[in-house]
Amino acid sequence: MISVIGMGPGDAGLRTQTAQTLISQADVLVGWPRLLADFPDFHGEKQVLNADIDGLIHWLHTKTDQNVVVLASGDPLLFGIGKRIAEHFPKQTCEIVPGISSVQYLFSRVQLDMNDLYITSSHGKQPDFDFIFQHDKVAMVTDKAIGPFQIGQEVLKRDLNRTLIIGENLSYADERIHFLQPEQVQRDYDMNVVVILNERQ
């Protein structure tokens, strides 16, 4: 069985009991180094994820007789590894276990509702900012190429009124949350989620 498990934003206390149980019963743990590092005492096989997702899928097909746990950050089906894996395995051999996404976590921290929220990602793609700014409340998971600074510049280019809430290293000891106007956004932030808010809606 392959279990794709949502690990939440980082803090182990935010993981589900189901996630903990499946990890403790796993023969194989697969994940990015940041997530695998949480299990130094795991004695089964560990497989480090890399960008070769086709290779991962191929390899997983050779492992369906074992308990394989794929660690996914946040929620597996929110811009995560869950989508690709679910597309390639029937439900009898693959389960997806939800987790608290970094987006949900940030909204809880700032006590803002997620009603009518548009959620998107800049990971490895050029976002359609004209479409994005048609929404009053947007959450974006980002990457190094397009993050808070680039989002701020796109707001300024269009002369829009938006507040950016930037959540860095969410749930970790060095978590930082900033409420900024676009012109105040710095060039560099650690791993982050950005909320783009039209407060004049």
Ligand X SMILES: C[S@@+](CC[C@H](N)C(=O)[O-])C[C@H]1O[C@@H](n2cnc3c(N)ncnc32)[C@H](O)[C@@H]1O
Among 79, 89, 107, 189, the residue binding ligand X under the rule CB under 6 A is: 79
Rounded least distance, CB 90 to ligand X, Å: 23
Helix or strand run (H / E) with residue 83? helix 82-88
Residues 122/143, Cβ–Cβ less than 8 Å: yes
Helix or strand run (H / E) with residue 121? strand 118-121
Q: Is 193 in the site for ligand X (CB under 6 A)?
A: yes
Rounded least distance, CB 120 to ligand X, Å: 11
C-alpha distance from residue 142 to each of 6, 19, 115 (Å): 18, 25, 21
Nearer to ligand X by C-beta: 122 or 201?
Answer: 122
Q: How far apart are CA 138 and CA 147, in angstroms?
A: 14
Nearer to ligand X by C-beta: 78 or 151?
Answer: 78
Rounded least distance, CB 43 to ligand X, Å: 27
Binding site for ligand X (CB under 6 A): 9-10, 73-75, 78-80, 101-103, 123, 141-143, 167, 169-171, 191-193
